[in-house]
Amino acid sequence: MTPLRFILSAVAMLTLSGVAFAQSDAQKSFDKLKTLAGTWEGRVTTNPPQAEMGDGALTQISLRVTSRGNALVHEMKAVGTPDDPTRYDHPVTMLYLDNDRLLLTHYCDAGNRPRMVARISPDGNTVEFDFLDVAGGMQYGHMHHVVFTVIDANHHTEDWTFIMPGDKPVNAHFDLTRTK
């Protein structure tokens, strides 16, 4: 093997190992989030306080692994609210791998579908999603940022940032305990 071929082979291997590392970070984040599969309950607090967004309400969140492990479905609703999408808000969020990225698509009550891309914390217990793009109109606002923090097998928090019309952020913090 000539020195040039050896150098090119080494560069190719280093490049591929970098891609594999990025994929493993996305996969590790996704695997961590899949451990949250189950039903969770907890209070939501909003900042600034927003009664119409459920400030203080007991909320139920369901996470379910689907599609042979390729997607995680996240559904939220106020506890005791009937499953009637014509009268109540029940947003659905899908989390999934796209090559070397972990993505989230939020099917919002505001009538749009923002997508966000994940980054993981050094300890692996926090997965933060940053706004990527949105399909649909934003005249009623849009979800812009999400953070999942795994405390332990039966406790996690979620922090969602919604951008209201006029670029006013509303932060919603969910402190959740596993019920099943």
Residues with Cβ within 8 Å of residue 42, at least 6 apart in sequence: 58, 59, 61, 174, 175, 176, 177
| Residue 38 bridge partners (DSSP) | 63
Domains annotated for the chain, with CATH where assigned, are 3-178 (2.40.128.20)
Distances (CA, A) of 38 to 7, 24, 68, 179: 50, 24, 16, 8
pLDDT (tens, 9 = 90+) of the chain, 180 residues, equals 565 444 444 444 444 444 444 447 899 999 999 999 999 999 999 999 887 767 788 999 999 999 999 999 999 998 988 888 777 788 999 999 999 999 999 999 899 999 999 998 888 899 999 999 999 999 999 999 999 999 999 999 999 999 999 999 999 999 999 998
Distances (CA, A) of 52 to 14, 40, 49, 86, 160: 52, 21, 9, 16, 15
Q: What is the predicted pLDDT for the residue at 166?
A: 93
